[in-house]
């Protein structure tokens, strides 16, 4: 077993931890919503949500076999594994893994767009176009999820909002119990803003997909590119 990748602390000029948390959460919600609308209810980011849909489809005779939702799980795992290996390799070579993982995620998102556009309207979840697009989109979100876990531990999770809601409620009632302690209030904000950003990203993505189709994904691609450029600037200027 190789060494566990080091967890990077958020100690950079730009962006702030809160801004980065909001941006990454918005991005995850956005991509998740596009995948859900374009690919027959597939969650590319909130991967465990597919378990409920998988069970429902298997139990409903009129549904076709949900191969896409089944393949989403190994695709997500592969994305996480790929990100972990890249982070480990970067640690050994003392390189900034965050920049590389941003580029990898952006590459997968671009492939997601291109497969969707080449395929045209995806009309059934068993088509090769739907399966290919779903696998690529889920790979991208696997990298996204692992990036936060491995390299941005100071941030609230940007993909799984159920845990954030739970932690927000816990921190809020602890805040009330401890006579409005400012530290607790800061922790509440830490979990609240990603939840809001994820929801806003999902809402905007839904309207964007109806208007632009897979072209709607150019927005999160642009956001990842901006984050990569900012991180490169931080690397150069210390």
Q: What is the pLDDT of residues 128-174, one digit of tens each?
A: 888 999 999 999 999 999 999 999 999 999 998 999 999 999 989 88
Task: Name the CA radius of gyration of the chain, rounded.
Answer: 18
Per-residue model confidence as pLDDT tens digits over 203-234: 999 999 999 999 999 999 999 999 999 999 98
Lowest mean pLDDT among 23-27, 53-57, 188-192, 200-204: 53-57
CB atoms within 10 A of CB 179: 7
pLDDT at 216: 98
Q: Is the pLDDT confidence value at 4 over 60?
A: no
Q: What is the pLDDT of residues 51-63, one digit of tens each?
A: 898 888 888 877 7
Please report the pLDDT score of residue 12 as a whole number: 54
Q: What is the pLDDT of residue 5?
A: 47
In angstroms, the CA 24 to CA 202 distance is: 12
> Is residue 194 pLDDT above 90, yes or no?
yes
Cβ proximity of 205 and 218 under 8 Å: no
For residues 73 and 50, give the distance between their C-alpha atoms in angstroms, rounded to a whole number.
Answer: 9
Q: Residue 168 to residues 25, 89, 106: CA-CA distances in angstroms?
A: 15, 35, 30
What topology is assigned to 17-237 in CATH? Growth Hormone; Chain: A; (1.20.1250)
Q: For 157, phi and psi rounded to 5 degrees?
A: -55, 140
């Amino acid at each position: 077993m190789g060494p566990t990748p080091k967890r990077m602390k958020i100690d950079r000029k730009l962006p702030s931890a809160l801004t980065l948390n909001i941006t990454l959460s918005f991005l995850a919600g956005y991509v998740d919503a596009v995948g859900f609308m374009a690919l027959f209810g597939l969650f590319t980011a909130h991967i465990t949500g597919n378990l409920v849909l998988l069970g429902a489809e298997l139990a409903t005779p009129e549904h076709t076999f949900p191969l896409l939702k089944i393949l989403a799980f190994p695709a997500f795992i592969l994305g996480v594994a790929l990100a972990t290996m890249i982070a480990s390799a970067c640690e050994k070579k003392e390189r900034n893994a965050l920049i590389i993982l941003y580029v990898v995620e952006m590459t997968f998102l671009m492939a997601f767009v291109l497969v969707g556009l080449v395929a045209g309207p995806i009309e059934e979840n068993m088509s090769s176009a739907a399966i290919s697009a779903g696998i690529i989109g889920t790979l991208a979100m696997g990298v996204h999820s692992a990036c936060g876990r491995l390299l941005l531990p100071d941030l609230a999770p940007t993909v799984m909002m159920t845990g954030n809601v739970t932690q927000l409620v816990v921190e809020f009632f602890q805040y009330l119990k401890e006579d409005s302690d400012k530290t607790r209030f800061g922790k509440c904000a830490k979990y609240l803003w990603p939840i809001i950003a994820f929801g806003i990203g999902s809402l905007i993505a839904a309207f964007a997909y109806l208007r632009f189709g897979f072209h709607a994904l150019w927005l999160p691609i642009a956001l990842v590119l901006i984050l990569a450029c900012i991180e490169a600037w931080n690397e150069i200027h210390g």
